[in-house]
Amino acid sequence: MIEQALEIAAKRAQGAEISLTTSRFTNAQYQDDKLKHVWVSQSTHLAARVIVNGKLGRAHTTDPQKVESVVARAIELAQFGSEADYQCPGPADFPQVKTYDPEVESIPKQDLVAVGAEMLDLIKTYNNDIKVSASAGWSVDERRLINSSGLDIRDQGSFYGIGIGGELIRGTDMLAVYLHRDWRTPVADPRDLAERAIEQFRLAERNVPLAAKSMPVILTPRASSLLLYSLQLGANGKNVLKGDSPLAGRLGEKLAADAFSLIDDGTIDYAPASGPCDGEGVARRRTPIIENGRLNAFLYDLETASKDGTKSTGNGPGCEPSNLVIPPGRMSLAEMIEGTREGLLIEHVMGLGQSNIMNGDFSVNVSLGYKIENGEIVGRVKDAMVAGNVYDALNRIEAIGSEPEWAWATCAPHLKIDALSVVAKA
């Protein structure tokens, strides 16, 4: 099937790439204290990318029998595509990255149901008024990628994920807590995740006022998206090439505190976005984007690298990051809190609010945050917002935590910023 698609494409295209991915899923989901769904499914995805007269055409289908039509559609759409002044990559020495654990797909659905039930029961034992949602599931993907330059690579990936959380309504006040753990091996501990959720509910039992002013802010690994999303856009080679990125032309400049680094690394064993190659057949690699506070590199795919006179960094298509890693520092979260006279610990922010994301400006609602007073967490803060600029905040990093955590494909420690503008109801 996949060879047939490449043969058809090669007759009319100067370059062609065909990928075939099959996926299997098993999942159990609880909602509002009850088991709502248990399902098993399978899907197939066939994609074609072609270069015709120097332009790129793409098409895909979930019906693997539609080989001829998907290739014909890609060739037809090439006339409207972007310029593609590059060749498909040939065979290469790909990194040996562990992405599959056979133990994952041996987990029966009844075990997933039991995992969800265990987490739900722990939350309900803490507070029966919480409406609990929980999930446990796994998936396995098998991909083959071939192209007109002789590349033929197969890879396999597994994923295991659990999630727990819920909503507690007290009059007009609604408190929501949700945590999730995903990895390519079944290492996530349901009891530990549920106890972390309980700790967040416990810290939020008391609502406390917070003055509107500039103050120290600690971002948890999950809240680091407040800073990282703008950095992702700024380091994206397409945005750099178009001149939309505020980082264009600034390689080597200081962007952050000396202790801060940011690495894109698609070669970490079992990490969610790791693999031997990206979606274009280019080897994954480790790319320091920011190193010791200075801008070191941008992320490129084949198309953008060709236009910018450089090489792909293995982030195609789209110049998107693989795994983003902020190396840890030396200070524990407890030490950060103990050293704060008055401040805010942010667990989650609500979307991106009124933000100019590309330029790094943000003004976002805090969906879950805690007030710090005299070195202790004293309660939950409601109706609070934080505002500022990502690049200013990066230079105001006072401490980097020693306890990094993965949140999907991002591994980050706690970050303490010495001052951000906080708006809250007193």
**Which pLDDT tens digit goes with each residue over 59-71?**
999 998 888 999 9
Q: What percent of the chain has pLDDT over 90?
A: 95
Q: What are the two backbone dihedrals, phi and then psi, of residue 228, each rounded to the nearest 5 degrees?
A: -75, -30
Residue with tokens 């034992």: 125
Q: What is the mean pLDDT of residues 122-149?
A: 98
Decide if pLDDT at 3 tops 90: yes
Residue 247's identity, in one-letter code, is L
Q: What is the mean pLDDT of residues 376-397?
A: 96
pLDDT interval class at 137 (50, 70, 90)? very high
Question: What local confidence, expressed as pLDDT, does residue 354 receive?
Answer: 59
Model pLDDT for residues 347-374, shown as the tens digit of each residue: 999 876 556 889 999 999 999 999 999 9
Question: What is the spatial distance between Cα 219 and Cα 400, in angstroms, rounded to a whole number?
Answer: 10
Would you kindly state where each structural domain of the chain is located, as residue ranges? 2-202, 207-227+328-424
Model pLDDT for residues 329-348, shown as the tens digit of each residue: 999 999 999 999 999 999 99
Cα→Cα distances 154→44, 94, 316, 360, 404, Å = 15, 11, 17, 39, 32
**Residue 266 structure tokens:** 């698609």
**Cβ count near 104 (within 10 Å):** 19
pTM over 0.75: yes
Question: What is the spatial distance between Cα 5 and Cα 18, in angstroms, rounded to a whole number?
Answer: 7
Decide if pLDDT at 426 tops 70: no
Question: What local confidence, expressed as pLDDT, does residue 237 receive?
Answer: 98
Model pLDDT for residues 254-312, shown as the tens digit of each residue: 999 999 999 999 999 999 999 999 999 999 999 999 999 999 999 999 999 999 999 99
CATH architecture of 2-202: 2-Layer Sandwich (3.30)
Question: What is the spatial distance between Cα 426 and Cα 422, in angstroms, rounded to a whole number?
Answer: 11
